[in-house]
Amino acid sequence: MRAFDESATDQFDVNQVAHDLRFRPVSSVSFALLDDRPVLFSEAAQQLYELNPTAAYIWCGLLEEKPTQEILDGLEESGVEPRAARSFVQGALRNWLELGLIELSWDLGDAFSRIIRIGRSNVLIRAANQSLLDQLTSLFDQTSSQEGDVQDTYEICQVGALTYMLHNERCVLRCKPDELVPAFKAHLTAQIIQRNSPSVAFHAACLLHRGRGLLISGPPGAGKSTLTMHLMDAGLQYASDDIVLIAPNGEAMGVPFVPTLKSGSWPIIERLRPDLAGFPMHRRADGKQVRYLKPQQPMYAGKFPLNWIVFLERGSATAARLEPLGQLETMKLWIDATYSPEGRLSVEAFHSIKRALTDAKSFRLHYADAANAKDILIGLCNDPS
């Protein structure tokens, strides 16, 4: 059984919390007295948490749906000094949130909101202010709300030094402000992978040349996004740089995230896009700094046939060349680059990929320099054969 310490604050501003947020115990946590000692039992963690009298008072206030300010007032009326009362409450809320014992709720309204189309779903994003909304929607090249029914709702609010995100009224994210956008993208990506059936989610960049689709896949560090930016600069239309959905009939559709550019690529990209430095920097969970760069031309949002599939093989001193691949080798590489909620490719997904390969030419691109690789791929797209 773990003892509960309500003293840590982690910059959690209870004064702002009292006005902006509501807290409630999660349904799978139970409060009880054992030997007259207050404890919490978490079904999810299979853990008991012993509460001191102050923590027990705060918890019972949450059970009674009291506002945070009312709980503060009660502590002060019992003789607790106001500063200590604030410290106790904010420490309790912070720790209980981290342990998954309580959840957040708030009512932001639609003053700062937008509906975004992601794959086959409409996602409603509500933010506490315009700045947060602009940050979150910078992932997409959609300047106005879409129409239609909403499948998912995200609500985002900043409290003190931390940002919180609810997904369909459940708190799924707590992070620092510069981590928000990458974390939001990672969460959306996981949702797409979970819900893409019957389509197959493929890790690849996607561009179009005269209505025909080019997929570019490669492991982290292979230069996929940098090469994508060079191809956009050469006139190809951008559809995605991370996830492509393959329908059962073999048609493809890009998931409309704007390009994600890691810091190592910035000096190269700035030659193509001098405005890159004006886009905000964000920090991913792996510690890498990234920028999300909006394409200068409209993104392609529809379905399209696949004509070329390219797997990247970057070397330090390699002349750019294309190595043709057969369907068997392509299928092996495709399986390795396929997102799956269970980590396995289903039979239905296998047949979707097989249909996509029927009319597509596949290659391994050996290269060292993105500009030279771009020339090779432009030549491939212009080849009438």
pLDDT in tens, 368-378: 999 999 999 99
pLDDT tens for each residue of 147-191: 778 889 999 988 767 888 989 888 788 899 999 999 999 999 988
Q: Which helix (H) or strand (E) holds 7?
A: none
311-337 mean pLDDT = 90
Residue 110 pLDDT > 90, yes or no?
Answer: no
Q: Bigger pLDDT: 19 or 25?
A: 25
Residue 39 pLDDT > 80, yes or no?
Answer: yes
240 assigned to some structural domain: yes
Q: Which helix (H) or strand (E) holds 20?
A: helix 14-20
CB of 74 closer than 8 Å to CB of 61: yes
- Residue 2: the pLDDT is 58
Residues 156, 33: one domain? no
7 assigned to some structural domain: yes
Residues 214, 301: one domain? yes
Give the span between the Cα atoms of 110 and 126, in whole angstroms.
6
Looking at the structure of the chain, the number of domains it has is: 3
Residues 221, 304: one domain? yes
199-214 mean pLDDT = 92
What distance lies between CA 13 and its chain's CA centroid? 26
For β-strands 338-339 and 306-314, DSSP reports them as: unpaired
Residues 166, 98: one domain? no
Q: At 310, which CATH number?
A: 3.90.228.20
- Residue 104: the pLDDT is 77
358 assigned to some structural domain: yes
Residue 145 pLDDT > 60, yes or no?
Answer: yes
Task: Pull the structure tokens for residue 283.
Answer: 């920090």
pLDDT tens for each residue of 271-307: 999 999 999 999 999 999 999 999 999 999 889 999 9
Q: Which helix (H) or strand (E) holds 76?
A: helix 68-77
287 assigned to some structural domain: no
Residues 234, 88: one domain? no
Task: Pull the structure tokens for residue 177.
Answer: 């402000």
264 assigned to some structural domain: no
Give the span between the Cα atoms of 375 and 372, in whole angstroms.
5
Strands in 152-159's sheet, in edge-to-edge order, are 113-118, 121-127, 152-159, 162-167, 170-175
Residues 74, 210: one domain? no
Give the span between the Cα atoms of 191 and 257, in whole angstroms.
14
Residues 238, 345: one domain? yes
- Residue 29: the pLDDT is 96
Residues 147, 225: one domain? no
Give the span between the Cα atoms of 42 and 113, in whole angstroms.
35
Q: Which domain holds residue 204?
A: 200-259+295-382
Of 70, 102, 134, which marks where a domain is finished? 102
Of 58, 78, 102, which marks where a domain is finished? 102
Residue 318 pLDDT > 80, yes or no?
Answer: no
Of 98, 55, 70, residue with least CA distance to 14: 70
278 assigned to some structural domain: no
Instruction: Name residue 226's amino acid.
Output: T
Task: For residue 192, give the DSSP letter.
Answer: H
Residues 340, 246: one domain? yes
CB of 298 closer than 8 Å to CB of 330: no
Residues 73, 36: one domain? yes
271 assigned to some structural domain: no
84 assigned to some structural domain: yes
Of 324, 328, 316, 381, residue with least CA distance to 354: 328
Of 175, 195, 215, which marks where a domain is finished? 195
21-30, 165-174, 325-334: which has the highest mean pLDDT? 325-334
Residues 183, 221: one domain? no
Q: Bigger pLDDT: 170 or 224?
A: 224
Residues 211, 236: one domain? yes
